[in-house]
Structures are given as structure tokens and as C-alpha cells.
A and B are shown apart, each in its own frame.
Chain A
Amino acid sequence: MAFIGLEPAAVARALSQIADRPEDRVDAYFERLETVELPPEEDSSRTLAPGLLVRREEGFAVRLVRDGRSWLASRDGLEPASFTDALRQVARVLPTAAYGEPQRAAVDPLPPLSAEETAAVLEMPRLVARAVRSRHAAFPLRLTVARHRRDVQVVSPRLVPGPEREIYYSVAADQPWGRYGALLPELGTAAAERVADALTASFRARQAAPPAADRVPAVLAPAAAAVLLHEAVAHALEADILALGGHPEAAQGVTLGPPELTVLDDPGRSPGETDRATDDEGLAVTRRYLLREGVVEQPLADAAWAERAGTLIPGAGRRGNRNEPPGPRSTCLELAPGEAALSDLLAGAEGGLYVTQVARGRLDALTGRFRLAVPFARRIRGGIAADAVGPFELTGSVAGLLESVAGVGREVETAGAGWCAKGGQKLPVWARTPALFLARVEVRR
């Protein structure tokens, strides 16, 4: 999967020219992206957004990190001359020096989408429509389906890890009663059934009244628990977010939740073709315990934060694109399963809410408060998910939320936790989670 078009050894030599201090970190990040998107069939803006949309891009960035500061130069395309130009732009010493252009290397061309791959994208709306009908529901489906392919290669003066490739899918439905979105490791009948489940449930709850503002017990199904953990654990334990309130390493050893709560990030076990051996800085990923039995163990760190903090481990550096510097982000969250069946969790949450979907989440990094927008839920009565309630927000402080964890389910589901857009860098996030029981959580209309 050689795609960078430049000889990696020559790139590494060129990078070593601008690292003129021992503590300097320099690297080159190359990416090749392809998105194939099928817009909704009944899109009124079709005159502007026709048929199948195909986007292909390639480019790179050269970066120098020194003493809490970084310089990055990115370019579209993969030309030797523009690489040298970017190198010169980042160099702090002798910016007018003559840097030699790295030799060209053979490129594996990006193959066009095969007939099978195209058919899978085109077939998905029909599969979802059929699955919705099988649930005895009917409503107009405005479904956008996209296939995403991302090739990444990082080169540094002392390290040239192998290239990485991610392939995954996204679906989005703009319905009059709300927007639904999901990330999928693969398309097909099982994925269509999952999307149809979610769409049908939201359709049937579309006229339900929101619950009253209150503090209630809540059981979050795996997909909803994934979003909650992404906001309240992963974001809260990113080194740059922790630095807003003090030294990131000071969080290590702090008890944040009950012993039932063990949360990891493991990019190596990300589902389908999204698993990674190295991060977007070319460093090996690890199976990272964010919380082990409720205690903070290893916050998420990229190389720069690991160097600054000393006790943090790198390997969680991710980039939304080549124009942005990497930052500490999660890739695939895992919540260690407990022993409770879903029925046990529901039985313990009488009068509370059973939440299967979260439309979006947000953590206010400065205040430590999170918000989850819930499109609908079900009231728990007699130990079962009963009548539907309409849109509301779950909110609270991270500390308060984690303290209120009262049970963890035993059946784990793998799914996309959704797109994360921290700092404007949009990245897919995955999760393997069971259901989660919160003894008390604040509900806002």
C-alpha cells in the first residue's frame, strides 16, 4: 500500500536536517482519503448535489515540535518539490538552506471502487427500507450512505512504521422528527437491521411528550452508553483537556467512579477495517486503561503531552486531517462488562428512563459539565421499557455522573460511538460497551 510517492528513507533524512536540537520532534504525515457518498433519493437540492459524490484527496504535513511550540506546514498533493517547500517553512534554522528533494517512489494507485463495493453502497437504502417495512412501519427515508477510506503513513527521522488503512461507512437520515446518524464497520443486512431499528423507534416516538425536568434513574443501552463514555470519560481524560485545569498527570490515581467502572481505549481492537497498530504520529497504540476499577490510570496523550508530563504514555495522537496538528483523542472505547442482565438493570431503575439513542453529546471542557441530546427514550415501568417520551437532555458534571454509576450490563455490543468534532477535527470513534445503569441523572427539557 505504498502511496506517498516519495522514498521514505529520503524523507526521514530530509526531516533530520531540521531537527537541530536533541529534544526536537519532527515528522511527516501523509494521507490519502476517499469518500463515496450516495445522497438521499428525494433530495430537493438535487440540481446542485447530483447522483454519486466521489471525493479523493492526498497530501501531507511536515511538523516540528519544540519546547511547547509546534510548526506545521501542509500541502495538497504529494510532490517532491512541495515537500521541500514545506520543510523549509517549518525549519527554525537556516530557512533558506537548500534541502534536496526526496526521490520519487513507486505508488500503489487508489483502485476505483469495485462493482461489489459500489453495489453495497447503492443497495443500503433499499435494505434499510425493506427492514423498516418488516417492522410494519412506513415513512419517507432520506438516507445518505457513505464509504470512507483513509490511508496514513508517518515518517520520522528514526521511525518509519508501516502504512495504515481504515475503511468504514456512515449513514445519516434527515427525518422531519429529527436527524439520525451512525458509523458502521460494514454494510449489509445486519447493519440495515440496526439502522431500521433506530429509525423505526424514533418514528414511533415522534409525537411523544418530553419527560419533566427531574433527577431520575436511567439505563443507557450500549449505543447510548458509548456516547456518554466518550464525552464524560474519554474527553475528560485527554491530556490537553486536563491541562485546562492543571497538570494532566495529576489526574493519575484519582478515584472518579465506583469499582465496577473500568474503561479502556484500544485502537488495536477497533472493529472491522478500522483497527490500528500505530497512531497518527506513527507511535504504537496501546491497550490503555483510562479508568481501572474507577481510578484514573492512563489519560489519553500524544507524543508532545507524554514528553511534557513524563508519566503519560503516547500512542493516542490523532489528526482530523493533514492541516491540523495531532492531539490526544480516543479511538475505540471499551467498558468492561459487569454481571447484570439488561432485565436486572431495568428492574432496578423503576420510574426511570431507558435510553437507546443519543443524538449528540458535548463536554464543556472548562466547567466539566456534559450534555447529551436524547431524541427519545422509554419510561421504565414494572421492570420493562414501556411508553415513549420525547426529546430531552441528560446533563450533569462528569464527577457526579461517574459517582452515580450503579450497574454495568453483561452483554457487550460493538458499534460506532459517532463522529467526534473536538476542536473542529472530525474523527470517527468506535466503542464496545454493555448497558450502563445510572442511579440518578439530571433530565432537562
Chain B
Amino acid sequence: MSPRPPTRPVPPTGDDDLGRVLLSLESEGFEEVEVYAKSGRSRRYTRFPLGPDRSGHDVATSEEKGWAARAGAGAVSLFYAATGEPRPQRAWPEAMPGALLLPEPVRAAPLEGSGHLDAPMLAEREGLGLLSGIARELESELPGARLSHARLDDGASESRLRSSRGVDACWRLRLAALELEAVGPGGETAHLAASAPHGRALTPGALARRLADQLATAAGQPPERDRGSFLLAPAAAARLVAGLLPLVVGEGAEARAGRLADRAGKLGSELWTVIDDGRFPGAPLASAVDGEGIPTRRQVLIDAGGFRRSLTARRPGAPAAGTGAVRRPSWRHPPTAGPSQLYLAPDAAVSTASLLRDVARGYYLLDAPGPGHFDLVGDTFSLPVRGFRIESGRAERAVAHAELTGAVSALLRGLKAKGRDLSFFPLAGLIGSPSLLLTGLEILPRRAG
């Protein structure tokens, strides 16, 4: 469903629930008013152990309906959210200091590639079948391994927003999210999170192989302190990109990035091009408008190593201009600026195999089993990693209980090549990266924790 074209100036009308709330708040003296309503439904399938050799499952079906109003008058404002249909309140909460300035409406182009929005939700047999299928495939991929816990959420929602400035938008989202935990034959563990535009896009075989790969590397040994070339698969590389989000998201991002820039103003290698694209074709969070009803767009945040802009709620110097980068995870919370589909741009000409051939001696890091620690002020980072040691272009042995570490500036400057295998992961929004070839960093043993 594409957003309705704005019809500014719009005198608010009480012809629907949102309009009635809008009028009610305006009649209380609020100049800036926004009313947002969301309804959704989701199915959650959970598989869990009932003992050493038996599994149980839960099936939960939820129907959600809630709304929220923001209202401001001069230097004070309020936020109110509730379940049900939007309804004028007899007594609104007290308005407190905090000026609210809503964005002006902007016409949004329809979203392309939104066919997934109409995909039906998984039926109970399909949902539970998917989880059983992953368990079976995992046992077949890696004998002795077992799926210890699995949770699949498959859901859809519709949102509508009207504001006193004339924004009037509707949008839909469709998302399936999966979390898996597995135990290997030697007791090693793996955790995998995946998302897709709908449940049928998740394939048991591919997911089981990723889990089996993780378990195989989790059984590896800690490395000696070492340097060399590091090839990071997308799952590990996306964790690096997520750790660098403060350089491109929120107030003060430009200053944070500036501290790491060289004399020419470059943050790092020319291969660093970071984009946030709220309309990424077919992506689960793709939408024509953002959480304030303002058109989303492709925004280049870092361009060939140079800082271009950060994701903020309003354009610098234009307090009533929305940016299309405002996220609204639920009706319960006020919107905030943040990424939708944020990714490091891939290089369509480079295959993973060719990147691997370039690693004469180093490490192929398949996975990062945690978020890591990024100190952008102190210019250091460490990321837990698992993978293989590479010698003469061949995997020599599995490496686990390790961390990739170094200066953030060295990480930014040490990007030597990138692949074409862009993949997204549910981290803060959806964060994507292709395989990355890095130098100038260290790998260390990580104490078991």
C-alpha cells in the first residue's frame, strides 16, 4: 500500500478516529499534533527441550492494536499511547517542558518490490515444520549436533499517521524473524539470528548449514597472538559495521567521525561506502515512508571513505524538515532516528573465492558470536570471532575463543577489498555487509567467559 499523497494545508477533520483525536488535542490548545495508529498480527513458534531426548513447542498468536499521540504547544509537549482505537481522552497527561516540532508533509513515491507484503503468514503446520526441518537438517549436516532452542516470529502490520501539519500516511510492514541455538557434539554452542520478508523465505537447509559451520568453528582452539590478513564473512563483517554506527547515527555523529578523520578529512579506505536505504528492494523493513510519514530514501552516509551525513530526525538548519530516517518500533514508544537497511556497499566484481585466494596467510572469520566493544573516543575495538586459520590459501585449522582487535582508525584504513555477497543481519535495524578483507589488525586468544 503506498502512502496517501499529502494534501497540505489540511484542516483537521473528525471524519475518523485519528482526526477526532487530532481535533481534541488542538481544541486543548496544542499547535503541533500527531496521531499514529498501528494494528498487527503475528504468530510465534517456539521449540524447546523437555528433557534430554524430547522437545515441546508453543504456538502463540497475537493481535495488536494500539495508538499514540504527540502534542506540543510552545515549549511544552506530551506523549500518550494506549491499546485500542485512537480515542480522545477526558484528561490528557500534563504537558511538560520539551518543544515538539513536527515535519512538513512531503509526497512519497510508491514502494517498488513490495510483493512480500501480501505473503500470507505461515500456518501452524508450516511454522512448526520449519523448526523441525532445521533440527533434522542440522543433525544430518553435523551428526551429534542438536537444535536446543528455536523461535520463529512471523508477522504483519499496518500503520496510519496524521498530523496537524498535513501529513497523512499509511504503510505496511511484513517481517519474519528467527532465533536458533544449537549444541555441537562436543558441547560447543552456536546462536543464529536471521530475518526475512516472510516466513516462507527461510530455508531449513541453508540455516542448518550456517549453524553447523558455527558449531564446527566453535570447536576450534584459541589462536596465538597473530597478525596477517583477515577475511571476514558477512556475519562477522556486519558486526563491525554495527559497532561503527555511532559514526553515522544520531546527534554528534559528525563530531565523533571527525575525531577519526585524517588531514584530508577521510575516515578510511575508499572502499568504505556506507548507505542507509529505507527502500532497499524486498528488504523486510523497506517502506515508502518512515515513522513520521516522511518519504524514505537512499542516503549515502560515508562515501568512498569520506563522511557525508548522519542519520538524524531533522535536517540540520531546517527544524520542520523530516529526513525519512525516523523509526517507530512500536506504538508504545516515541519515534527515534535510526537505521533501516544500513549497509557497506558491496563490490559486484569481486567474488568471495577471489578474496580467499588473496589470503596467503591469515584468517577466514566466519562469525562473531557477540557484539564486541567499540571505543570510538579511545580509538580501540575488539570483536569476538570464530573461523579458520588460512595458510597458503587453505584452511589449516578452526579458531575459536578469539578476538579481532586493533585501533578503530586502523580498521577503517585497513579495508583492502570487499566482495559482492551483501547479506543483512538483524542487529540495530538491519545491518548489512559483504565479505571484507582487512589488514593492520590483530587476533588474540579470548579468555573463556
A: residues with CB less than 8 A from B are 36, 38-39, 41, 43-59, 68-77, 82, 89, 112-113, 118, 122, 213, 240, 243-247, 308, 323-325, 364, 366-367, 369, 371, 393, 395, 442, 444
Residues of B within 8 Å of A371, CB to CB, are: 449
Asked if A55 and B332 make an inter-chain contact with CB atoms under 8 angstroms apart, the answer reads: yes
Contact status of A112 and B313, CB under 8 A, knowing A50-B78, A51-B79 = no
Asked if A77 and B78 make an inter-chain contact with CB atoms under 8 angstroms apart, the answer reads: no
Asked if A69 and B56 make an inter-chain contact with CB atoms under 8 angstroms apart, the answer reads: yes
Q: Which 8 A-B pairs have the closest CB atoms?
A: A51-B96, A50-B77, A68-B56, A50-B98, A49-B334, A76-B83, A72-B60, A57-B83
Cα A82 to Cα B94 with chains together (Å): 32
* Known contacts A54-B93, A323-B64, A367-B189; 19 further A-B pairs (Cβ under 8 A): A45-B337, A47-B100, A47-B101, A47-B319, A48-B313, A53-B79, A53-B81, A55-B80, A55-B82, A57-B82, A69-B59, A70-B56, A71-B60, A76-B66, A77-B84, A308-B50, A323-B60, A393-B449, A395-B448
Asked if A112 and B449 make an inter-chain contact with CB atoms under 8 angstroms apart, the answer reads: no
How many Å from the CB of A112 to the closest CB on chain B?
Answer: 5
Residues of B within 8 Å of A68, CB to CB, are: 50, 54-57
How many Å from the CB of A4 to the closest CB on chain B?
Answer: 14
Contact status of A54 and B81, CB under 8 A, knowing A68-B54, A70-B58 = yes
A-B contact count (CB 8 A): 166
Asked if A45 and B313 make an inter-chain contact with CB atoms under 8 angstroms apart, the answer reads: yes
Q: Does B70 belong to the interface (CB within 8 Å)?
A: yes
How many Å from the CB of B92 to the closest CB on chain A?
Answer: 9
Asked if A70 and B59 make an inter-chain contact with CB atoms under 8 angstroms apart, the answer reads: yes
Contact status of A246 and B332, CB under 8 A, knowing A51-B96, A55-B81 = no
How many Å from the CB of A443 to the closest CB on chain B?
Answer: 10
How many Å from the CB of B220 to the closest CB on chain A?
Answer: 16
Residue in B49, B59, B80 whose Cβ sees the most chain A Cβ within 10 Å: B59
Interface CB pairs A-B, < 8 A, 24? A39-B98, A45-B250, A45-B337, A49-B98, A50-B78, A51-B97, A54-B93, A56-B80, A56-B81, A57-B332, A68-B57, A72-B60, A72-B61, A73-B62, A76-B84, A77-B83, A82-B63, A112-B91, A240-B48, A243-B51, A246-B51, A325-B60, A369-B448, A369-B449
Q: Does B99 belong to the interface (CB within 8 Å)?
A: yes
Asked if B448 and A76 make an inter-chain contact with CB atoms under 8 angstroms apart, the answer reads: no
Contact status of A77 and B56, CB under 8 A, knowing A51-B97, A52-B79 = no
Q: Does B24 belong to the interface (CB within 8 Å)?
A: no
Residue of A nearest to B90 (CB): A112
Residue of A nearest to B252 (CB): A44
Cα A54 to Cα B97 with chains together (Å): 15
Residues of B within 8 Å of A395, CB to CB, are: 447-449
Asked if A74 and B52 make an inter-chain contact with CB atoms under 8 angstroms apart, the answer reads: no
Contact with A along B100-126 (1 / 0, CB 8 A): 110000000000000000000000000
Residue in B57, B60, B70, B313 whose Cβ sees the most chain A Cβ within 10 Å: B60
Residues of A within 8 Å of B60, CB to CB, are: 71-74, 323-325
Quick one: which of B122-149 are within 8 Å of A by CB? Answer: 148-149
Asked if B98 and A46 make an inter-chain contact with CB atoms under 8 angstroms apart, the answer reads: yes
Q: Which of A48, A118, A247, A364 makes the CB contact (< 8 A) with B52?
A: A247
Q: Does B76 belong to the interface (CB within 8 Å)?
A: yes
Cα A405 to Cα B189 with chains together (Å): 28
Q: Does B35 belong to the interface (CB within 8 Å)?
A: no
